[in-house]
Chains A and B, each alone.
Chain A
């Protein structure tokens, strides 16, 4: 597996800097949480890595340079992402969604034929994400949480090595969050995960390591305890951290 390595990564929109020289390494097998206040640039960082936002500096995944590559080429290197608002193919069934995600390397001949049965990776993903019961339902009919799980399932069949998840548990109930966290842990055993989230309870429960982003820069990095003990982080997260430490 490969390391994601960012050096002096910067993004500006219309001259306004949004990411400002970010240095970041994510080792293979890590379950890294990317936290920070709204507008800190978390989504933009994922956009830059996946080819959506034009960036300067350096972004490497293993031996591959990412900057300047088109979105679908980066995806083919084994980097997958989800979006803040779940985007699945609403008109297609859950199984069809997964089947499409599994197929970017299919030949024209295979594409032109009908799908006779589900590929094994799709059946596995249906089990892993707990969506087997709704496999034949249209994705547009799924509940919010299920859509996020479907997105994660699509990354599983895509067989990505690096998963970038943008607020996967936003808007979920407590139970759904718990289930999602456990799902992340299970799938994290074989791949690298970067999860954007700002709910500290969730981060504490599931993060292996944490990077705090603030105003386009890395503010702090380490384990949950190290990061929470950082005075700079406490300043940015004043309200939350105080409550959290009182609870703890």
Chain B
């Protein structure tokens, strides 16, 4: 099959759409489709990491912060909707004073407000962090450590606020999604389709960004920030754009994760998950659009199936793969493409979880 370069991207998106909307729902059990929905949420985070890290050179090791902000915004609304008009979410009546809703919960009764906050909060927080950090020319490892610290601080704060955030448990046992009962497999499928559609739309958007002048400028800033400065650009603003967009994507991913899995908790957004968000992108190829998406899905799938067999070993395997990828293959698996001589690159498609599960596992 010989595909002209002009058609390669549309063809890739068409195949991706066919796999996500036709093949996966036909082939996978409801349970496996639910797992895939969760992996696709992580792929959305990875998409943002590809933009900010792969193209922008910012080592975004703390995307859990934005994932969590988006996720909690959604989960708060769904908990309030579950509880019903004027009532408190279940955990507050259990652990809290049980009488009054914290003032900052109140507006989340409105679905419009909650949905807006899914985007606004992570992006605004990223804008504040980004302005402070990029103006001071904090880069590389310092930026990564700062991101991790902020993410850890957020998770610790959540744990400490048992009565208003559910503490360590987080916001659990979410039943409904804008009027739909999440216990019904049909609605679970609907959630999967929403997530797949959002991922695909964001992939198309990010691709547009990559081929735009901004995309070229971002690469220029990544490779030689000083030089860009001398051309009359403010690199801090160029980086800020990509960072804020990546935060927005992480926020959306966190929000979609809630109906897919039924929970949002500090354990899903802390330091370790933040590193795991990045591993898939690093292995797949951080600067490659299909690379980050495929990498994120593949690593998530490998984690859940291998950790069934080697519960303790997986962490080490994952760390090892990460180090090998970064040390010997900085462009990730996507960079192997150029070694395939004279054969047009096959159209990349999201990897699918194995069709024959060894054992069913409970979603995290």
Question: Is B87 located at the chain interface by the 8 A CB criterion?
Answer: no
Instruction: Give 16 A-B pairs besides A72-B230, A104-B231 with Cβ atoms closer than 8 angstroms.
Output: A72-B231, A75-B231, A75-B232, A87-B226, A90-B223, A92-B216, A92-B219, A92-B220, A97-B220, A100-B216, A103-B217, A104-B232, A111-B213, A112-B208, A113-B213, A115-B216
Residue of B nearest to A86 (CB): B227
Distance A114 CA – B215 CA, assembled complex (angstroms) = 9
A114 to chain B: which residues have CB within 8 Å? Answer: 208, 211-213
Among the listed A91, A103, A112, which residue makes an inter-chain contact with B209, where contact means beta carbons less than 8 Å apart?
A112
Question: Is B307 located at the chain interface by the 8 A CB criterion?
Answer: no
Whether A91 contacts B219 by the Cβ 8 Å rule is yes
Taken residue by residue from 101 to 125, chain A's Cβ proximity to chain B (1 for < 8 Å, 0 otherwise) reads as 1011110001111110000000000
B186 to chain A: which residues have CB within 8 Å? Answer: none
Question: Is A80 located at the chain interface by the 8 A CB criterion?
Answer: yes
Interface residue ranges of B222-237 to A (CB < 8 Å):
223-224, 226-235
Interface residue ranges of A205-236 to B (CB < 8 Å):
none
Whether B220 contacts A75 by the Cβ 8 Å rule is no
User: Taking the nearest CB of chain B, how far is it from the CB of A136, in angstroms?
Assistant: 13
Whether B229 contacts A106 by the Cβ 8 Å rule is no
Interface residue ranges of A82-101 to B (CB < 8 Å):
83, 87-92, 96-97, 99-101
Among the listed A83, A101, A110, which residue makes an inter-chain contact with B231, where contact means beta carbons less than 8 Å apart?
A101
Binding site for B on A (CB under 8 A): 50, 70-72, 75-76, 80-81, 83, 87-92, 96-97, 99-101, 103-106, 110-115, 154, 158
Whether B226 contacts A100 by the Cβ 8 Å rule is no
Question: With A87-B224, A114-B211 given, is the CB distance from A72 to B229 under 8 Å?
Answer: yes
Among the listed B217, B224, B227, B235, which residue makes an inter-chain contact with A111, where contact means beta carbons less than 8 Å apart?
B217
B212 to chain A: which residues have CB within 8 Å? Answer: 111-115
Whether B232 contacts A158 by the Cβ 8 Å rule is yes
Distance A83 CA – B227 CA, assembled complex (angstroms) = 9
Query: How many residues of chain B are within 8 Å of chain A by beta carbon?
Result: 22
- 17 chain-A/chain-B pairs, Cβ below 8 angstroms: A72-B230, A80-B230, A89-B220, A89-B223, A91-B223, A97-B220, A100-B220, A100-B228, A104-B233, A105-B232, A110-B213, A112-B214, A113-B213, A114-B208, A114-B212, A115-B212, A154-B231
User: Taking the nearest CB of chain A, how far is it from the CB of B216, in angstroms?
Assistant: 5
User: Taking the nearest CB of chain A, how far is it from the CB of B131, in angstroms?
Assistant: 15
Residue of A nearest to B235 (CB): A72
A90 to chain B: which residues have CB within 8 Å? Answer: 223
Among the listed B209, B211, B213, B224, which residue makes an inter-chain contact with A89, where contact means beta carbons less than 8 Å apart?
B224
A112 to chain B: which residues have CB within 8 Å? Answer: 208-209, 212-214
Taken residue by residue from 225 to 262, chain B's Cβ proximity to chain A (1 for < 8 Å, 0 otherwise) reads as 01111111111000000000000000000000000000
Residue of B nearest to A115 (CB): B213
A103 to chain B: which residues have CB within 8 Å? Answer: 213, 217
Whether A75 contacts B230 by the Cβ 8 Å rule is yes
Binding site for A on B (CB under 8 A): 208-209, 211-214, 216-217, 219-220, 223-224, 226-235
B214 to chain A: which residues have CB within 8 Å? Answer: 111-112
Closest 3 CB pairs between A and B? Answer: A104-B232, A75-B232, A111-B214
Distance A81 CA – B211 CA, assembled complex (angstroms) = 28
B229 to chain A: which residues have CB within 8 Å? Answer: 71-72, 75
A113 to chain B: which residues have CB within 8 Å? Answer: 212-213
Among the listed B209, B219, B234, which residue makes an inter-chain contact with A72, where contact means beta carbons less than 8 Å apart?
B234
Distance A87 CA – B229 CA, assembled complex (angstroms) = 12
B217 to chain A: which residues have CB within 8 Å? Answer: 100, 103, 111
Residue of B nearest to A80 (CB): B230
Whether B216 contacts A72 by the Cβ 8 Å rule is no
Residue of A nearest to B216 (CB): A96
User: Taking the nearest CB of chain B, how far is it from the CB of A125, in angstroms?
Assistant: 13
Whether B230 contacts A50 by the Cβ 8 Å rule is yes
Residue of B nearest to A82 (CB): B230
User: Taking the nearest CB of chain A, how far is it from the CB of B96, in angstroms?
Assistant: 45
A158 to chain B: which residues have CB within 8 Å? Answer: 231-232
Among the listed A71, A110, A115, which residue makes an inter-chain contact with B230, where contact means beta carbons less than 8 Å apart?
A71
Question: With A112-B209, A112-B212 given, is the CB distance from A87 to B231 under 8 Å?
Answer: no
B211 to chain A: which residues have CB within 8 Å? Answer: 114
User: Taking the nearest CB of chain B, how far is it from the CB of A149, in angstroms?
Assistant: 16
Among the listed B208, B213, B234, B235, which residue makes an inter-chain contact with A106, where contact means beta carbons less than 8 Å apart?
B213
Which residue, B226, B229, B231, B234, has most C-beta atoms of chain A within 10 A? B231
A87 to chain B: which residues have CB within 8 Å? Answer: 224, 226-227
Residue of A nearest to B220 (CB): A89
Distance A50 CA – B227 CA, assembled complex (angstroms) = 12
Distance A71 CA – B236 CA, assembled complex (angstroms) = 12
